[in-house]
Amino acid sequence: MKSAVCLLSGGLDSTTALYYAKQEGYRVHALTIHYGQLHDKEIESARQIAAELNIPHEIISISMPWKGSALLDSNIPVPTGRKESEMTKEIPSTYVPARNSIFLSFAASWAEVLGAKAIFFGANIQDYSGYPDCRPEYLQAFRELVRLGTKRGDEGKAIRIETPLLQLSKKEIVLLGQSLNVPFQKTWSCYQGKNTPCGECDSCVLRAKGFREAEIEDPLMRYAISSLR
């Protein structure tokens, strides 16, 4: 059976991409990276999701002591209450410097050892929050990097980087997740580490928009978000 490494943060998008890879007939291996974020709610979600599927799951920890992001430094505020139109005007403080390059590099290393054919990555361009490392041109450049910088690539067997959600809206991602029986209640998208989602950060706003437009109740977010009124 063909195999794949799936980057699993525990969020809605990465979980949907994981379930998509499984439906496509891949033997999936989940990779979760703890990079020093201020809370580990997503890590626990990833652990529960991988356990439910009974799939191989690696959780690795790395250090980014230079911080540089609201997700790593409590002194940097997380943007809240922003409208969707404001989210792509500038790169937000929740951007983690070069995070996706780091994550994809770890995934490529594991995929090469496994002999995996692909890496599945839940990047999304339609409803993203201004992150430069979710753009199609970035992903295409990274595909070339993996081809040039790995033994597999040198042998003409380059590891594919699959981004099945890239051009989907959040509504479409929710509908796809529903069709794949994604356990929405186990996923975590909020940038805050509280007991319940804050409902005001960019990630919560986009998630709520997707569920609302899909006309599906989000089991994690049964509350009104003022910015969507």
The region that residue 215 occupies, defined by phi over 0 for left and psi between -120 and 50 for alpha, beta otherwise, is left
Residue pair 56/29 in contact (Cβ under 8 Å)? The answer is yes
Instruction: Report the C-alpha gap between 168 and 214 in whole angstroms.
Output: 13
Tens of pLDDT, residues 43-63: 999 999 999 999 999 999 999
pLDDT, position 162:
98
Is the Cβ–Cβ distance between 206 and 212 less than 8 Å?
no
User: What is the reported pLDDT for 83?
Assistant: 80
- 8 Å CB contact between 15 and 8: yes
pLDDT at 227: 39
Q: What is the mean pLDDT of each run of 10 residues along the chain (229 residues)?
A: 96 98 98 96 97 98 96 95 77 94 98 98 79 92 97 96 96 98 96 90 92 95 48
Q: What is the pLDDT of residue 222?
A: 64
What domains sit in the chain, N to C, each tagged with a CATH number?
Answer: 3-169 (3.40.50.620)
Which 8-state DSSP code applies to residue 119? E
**Cα 61 to the center of its chain, rounded Å:** 17
Q: What is the pLDDT of residue 194?
A: 87
Q: Both tokens of residue 144?
A: 């070339």
pLDDT of residue 128: 56
pLDDT tens-place string over residues 157-202: 999 999 999 999 999 999 999 999 999 999 999 999 888 999 999 9
- Note the pLDDT of residue 226: 39
Please give the Cα distance from 126 to 212 (Å, whole number): 16
DSSP element (H, E) containing 206: helix 202-214
Q: What's the CA gap between 221 and 24, in Å, rounded?
A: 29
Per-residue pLDDT, 228: 42
pLDDT of residue 96: 96
Please count the other Cβ atoms lying within 10 Å of the Cβ belonging to residue 198: 17
| Structure confidence at residue 139 (pLDDT) | 96
| DSSP H or E segment with residue 3 | strand 3-7
Three-state DSSP at 68 gives coil
Nearest to 4 by CA among 158, 182, 162, 176: 162
pLDDT of residue 224: 39
Nearest-angstrom CA–CA distance, 41 and 49: 12
